[in-house]
Chains A and B, each alone.
Chain A
Amino acid sequence: MEITTVGLNYLNNGYGLKSWLLTKDHKRIAILYLLSITGFFFLGGFFALLIRLELLTPAADMVQPDTYNKLFTMHGIVMVFFFLIPSIPATLGNFLLPIMVGAKDLAFPRINLLSWYIYVLGGAFTVVAAATGGVDTGWTFYAPYSTSASNSHVITAGLGIFITGFSSILTGLNFIVTTHRMRAPGLTWFRLPLFVWSMYATSLIMILGTPVIAITVLLVAVERGLHLGIFDPALGGDPILFQHLFWFYSHPAVYIMILPAMGVISEIVQAFTRKNIFGYAFVAFSSLAIAIVGFLVWGHHLFVAGQSTYAGLIFSILSFFVAIPSAVKVFNWTATIYKGAVSWDSPMLYAFGFIGLFTIGGLTGLFLATMGLDIHVHDTYFIIAHFHYVMVGGAIMGYLGGLHYWWPKITGRMYPEGWAKFAALTVFIGFNLTFFPQFIVGYLGMPRRYAMYAPEFQVYNVLSTAGATVLGAGYVIPMIYFIWSLKNAPLAGNDPWGARGLEWEIPSPPPTENFVVSPIVTEGTHQYAPSREVGIGH
């Protein structure tokens, strides 16, 4: 059926700048976030490009080591705090969560808009820090280097992170209240889409962890500014306390990045196999388990930092436990795909990529949770490869997959599927070419965070830089066809994938109020098969 017209929707409901900058519509705020995090993504990518170019040769010939230190610091800060943390929650989550629970908006629309302004303000601080000379502490801001030694703009960047933290907190707060209080009649917890469960689990981490990083970077700034002795041993402080506080947030923060992607993958896998997820309750609760157990493992970052051996043992054992709920998800996605009517659309390609790459990233995490092995590979490229497999191979694959899956809903238009498949493959190949050599070179002993390296490591670094180029192209292609699709691609209609869920029952793009009449939900919104089949299993 050819669809030719688009009714009144959130996009054509007002065109002026004011109608966007003062909007309280969660869908418009999601678009504002989408635009700003894309900006930061390419800024962080630009820093990554310079890093990879410098590492083409063993000598520090393109930039000075000082500059190099600033490059990897700014890459980390921008990518972690300004892209990965808000990526899925603030864009897809913001757009979809109210629709998926059958509500007109998030519980606190004004706070939602405020959180975007806070994000922009924090981003401005960080951009100013970068423009006025940068920061060279690493994104981890380890004391006492950050509190007394470094000459760079630590306070500005720290305040940027402090401020942005509140946008994350407010988003999490809004999501939690919305999930509890705004669900449509009949929409019980076990009828919720798995994406909502993962958003809820993510929000728990946001509200429980983010305040701790906020107070920690604030203390670093205060210590630098006022010479209070909190973390600097010369002033009587304890630098290991900094690491405890920092990783209390920053380990769970990895799950802020990966849990939303897992939620996206759960939706995509169901839609493109035409099957209900295998073991809905297990997948739903594994999100909560990851969020909770994820708070008990941060000490695996301190194995060689001076933490006691016994604490190390405890953190090591607890770290192994997080693997269980993560594995539950991987097994259940696989079981869902098994004997499913798989269609190889581009979102599904990203989902396949995610499952494979996240598995590698997660399993190498177990290597690092093993104290003896961690002492060998700590602060090497093995770690870099590990967390890029999780954050880029996992989180960004999920983000791109979700963006493709819901793009027709967000814009009302399809995108060129051929190009999308090509881009997905490019990303997959480029990614592996970039980061797999880093596992090897890290295991061989190449340390992270140096502009120079031993000549025998060059071949791996050249491979890596070549891969990064391919990966970069893989990110630019979707950007181009997404923009192109806004005017030129065919209209999508309500449900171009034949997918299930409340968001596919309303027009694309959705009207400002989401639902003309409040929905009443009579069965699981994700049901791909009649309920009785679900009972028997697959």
Chain B
Amino acid sequence: MATEGNIHARPIAIQPAPAGPYVHEAHHPWLQHHFDSMTQQAEASTLGMWVFLVTEIMFFGGLFMAYLVYRHASPSGFQEASHHLNIYWGTANTAILIISSLTMALAVRSAQTSQPRGTQVLFLFLTIVLGLAFLGIKAIEYTDKFKDRIVPGPNFHWEGTHAKAAEQFYSLYFAMTGLHALHMIIGVGIMSVILVMAWWRIFDEEYYTPVEVAGLYWHFVDIVWIFLFPLLYLIGRHYHAG
């Protein structure tokens, strides 16, 4: 079993840390005990969110993969199906999300520059309202699809030449936009918490990691939509049913 001592007994130096990159700054109330500094804590949090967003890329990636395979299998069927999406609602929602990304970025900036809480709260509030507007429009679109009976399942009804491909397209449409909408709902929830925190005057130039990290998430959800919009709404615009 144990050998008495060891041949090269050279313990690794364990001493108190000297002044260095990770030295204690004046102890901030929001510094968790296992971090050495606010910088280290903030860097860990943002890296954590980025790594999480990579998993999100792969998560949505599975659906995009399916889209690619099925569109490759029936390109004109997908175009025909896409033609029945409402391009006005789609474009409006794209614009709404872009505006919400701007308000989000400004919310982060206002925390970063220690703006008064009114400014921070206003930008966060606008972001939430725009997110809800997006979801409202999505709900209208979904209702229309139910009315037109183009929801996949036994009641799917298609007047066109590519009924099978159309059902496939709408399977993917609901899966992709549904998952995206779920992310929006979660995003609105997160923003509401952040808004309350901003109201409590928690964020300033010393500590704004939660706003920043939540903002990364919000922008990511926007990026997913930036790809969903053309792939779902725009591929059928010039399609002429034969």
Contacts and interface: CB of A to CB of B under 8 A. Distances in A.
State if A and B touch, Cβ cutoff 8 Å.
yes
Interface of A: 103-105, 107-109, 111, 169, 173-174, 176-177, 180-182, 184-185, 207-212, 214-216, 219, 222, 226-230, 235-238, 241, 244-245, 274, 343, 345, 414, 417, 493, 495-498, 500, 502, 505, 515, 517-523, 525, 527-530
B171 interface: yes
A517 B16 contact: yes
For chain B, the bracket of interface size reads 35 or more
Given A185-B20, A210-B55, A502-B12, A274 B6 contact: yes
A208 B58 contact: yes
A185 B16 contact: no
B40 interface: yes
22 contacts: A105-B34, A108-B48, A173-B51, A181-B44, A182-B34, A182-B40, A211-B55, A211-B56, A211-B59, A212-B58, A212-B62, A215-B63, A226-B152, A227-B152, A228-B171, A229-B167, A229-B168, A238-B70, A245-B65, A274-B6, A493-B2, A530-B8
Given A212-B62, A245-B66, A498-B6, 14 more contacts: A181-B40, A207-B54, A211-B59, A211-B61, A222-B175, A226-B153, A414-B1, A495-B6, A498-B4, A517-B15, A517-B17, A518-B17, A527-B10, A530-B8
Interface in B183-234: none
Given A109-B34, A181-B44, A523 B6 contact: no
B144 to A, nearest CB: 19
A464 B147 CA distance: 60
Contact of A497 (B3, B63, B70, B174): B3
B47 interface: yes
Contacts of B62: 211-212, 215-216, 219, 245
B215 to A, nearest CB: 18
B26 interface: no
Contact of A169 (B15, B55, B57, B70): B55
Nearest to B15: A520
A488 B193 CA distance: 51
Given A212-B58, A230-B66, A518-B16, A505 B44 contact: no
B96 to A, nearest CB: 26
Nearest to A175: B51
A236 B167 contact: yes
A520 B19 CA distance: 12
Across the A-B interface, give the 5 residue pairs with the lowest CB-CB distance, nearest first: A498-B6, A215-B62, A211-B59, A211-B58, A104-B34
Nearest to A108: B48
B145 interface: no
Contacts of A226: 152-153
Given A214-B59, A226-B152, A520 B14 contact: yes
Contacts of B34: 103-105, 107, 109, 182
Contacts of B52: 169, 173
Nearest to A420: B1
